[in-house]
Structure 1
Amino acid sequence: MVLLNHTSVDSDTATLCDLATHLGHYLKQHGDINTGIALLTRASHSLERLHGPDHPDTLTSRANLALAYHWAGDLERAIALSEATLADRQRVLGPHHPATLTSRNNLAGAYLSASDLDRAIPLLTASLSDAEQLLGPEHPHTLIARNNLAGAYLSASDPERATPLFEMALADYERVLGPDNLNTLGARNSLARAYRSASDWARAIPLYEAALVDCERIWGPGHLHTLTARRDLANACHSAGDWERAIPLYETSSAGAERLLGLDDLNTLTARINLASAYRSAGDLEKAIPLYEATLAQAERVLGPGHPLTRTIRSNVETATRSDN
């Protein structure tokens, strides 16, 4: 960061652009979203100056910036930039290039976050068809495309279409990549979400339990993947009305996120809001309201008052406060 601060943007080299990109990703994922976006913007502009607007590295930097806007909750900018990048990659690289397929998936993800399923699902359907034809049914990109399409159907409250795709994706991941691969564990989690959306706790919770055991065995109890698996199991128990089991899991997840990632990380904020919601569901407003309020103050400082998570926390604070009156 010191080097970038003491270097003129006009003198950026490809190496400095690479440094700005990596640092931008790091800061984005660890709570300093605005600085991360500024660095990714700098890299994008400098690469366009160095290589021109159609160079693959320029297009990749633009895709990275779009993902950062998506991460920050600025869906208007994320969608506009993702649409432009997809159009450019289709023109420069062709409609079937792997980078074009990635851009199509990224744009579909932004549409999903904006709840625009009418535009997301056709894109994901096309991505899966292209991946199957160009890469084969068992290529990792094909497996990811199938999993993404299933996720879109799940977001559209269509578990009947989502669940078979998730089941197929998991079976393929286990056969092609092995049971301990990160994508396999993610596919198992996605299938559990589909079962959970159908309130099929008898199939959902054992999958979440197995995922937590696997993560603890592979990465240890304090790893981010393990924290995520513990949170997912807690969410399932919470949804099933099992507060006695959910709350200790949330407490462990929240403490682990604070220790591993710090108070300002998005995962930590999410863990704290989950714990506060569990307290509220169990009727313990004396614990819920102060935790909501503290997390809201943190989110406003770190993410800004307009971020979707900040707005969600503010709504939860208002609801819990009304319940206490």
Structure 2
Amino acid sequence: MREPTSGQTIEFQGLTKRFGRVQAVTDLTVSVVPGRVTGFLGPNGAGKTTSLRCALGLVAPSEGRALIGGRPYADLPHPAHVVGAVLESSSFHPGRSARNHLRWVAQASELPPARVDEVLAATGMTTYARRRVGGFSLGMRQRLGLAQALLGDPGVLILDEPANGLDPAGIAWLRGFLRALAAEGRTVLVSSHVLGEVQQTVDDIVVVAAGRLVAHGPLSDLEAAQGSVLVRSPERTRLAELLDGSASTVETVEADGLRLRGLSPADVGRLAHEHHVELHELALQPPDLERLFLDLTSGTEARP
């Protein structure tokens, strides 16, 4: 494969989109940078797909702009070399084979025919290249859509619910594949309505609800802020007294445990050592991001 087009920043600048009386997106301002996988998260009807369609020039914003590398999609000189996209509504002619479908797309986009077999191999579709698309499962269609998006070897990937229809092995493959694309310096934007589905993949998150931005930043920052420390000790009461005022939150867990927020495992271990408190377990607990996601998006009305 040739060296990929450099990743470009995706920018939403005050993006607003109305469909009649329904406001699907309201003043969305956020940037998605190269070299990282960004999860675009929100419940169904949150405005994710509308925002992506604006970025791809399929829907005109009512206000604001959606830019790729500082330009609207329509102004990109060779869009297939810059942006590859998989939309939830992607469709294929059921009578064509996977290879013939990609050949047709490559010819229409003035892309070299050799790219067809390269992307089939990259997405694990070589075995199914001669099969008609009409007999494909949803997961196979997702892989074919991803192969189509990669035909131009673009630096920007915009993927709408790409894990839909994939089995556990397929989801694990997709995670590794997206991480590899980002490691090459590409910009990877992945929409989903299930945080747990992308938690092991993304570097950054953008969370929207009812068309409005509710959270944005590195996933690691969110995990650090929302994570906790689990400690178990036969001297739980004494340890709790020593920790009083040090941790932002102290909760009891079963007979001998404490769940702490605001302290690291090293902080707790140091304190226990200094006061000769016996510990049976000390571990960093990942945050319940599914619960956090529900908290962030609760109290909002779904949009069409």
Relative to the length of structure 1, the TM-score reads 0.28
Select the structure of larger CA radius of gyration.
2
Greater fraction helix: 1
Which gives a bigger RCO, structure 1 or 2 (Cα 8 Å, sep 6+)? 2
Relative to the length of structure 2, the TM-score reads 0.29
Greater fraction strand: 2
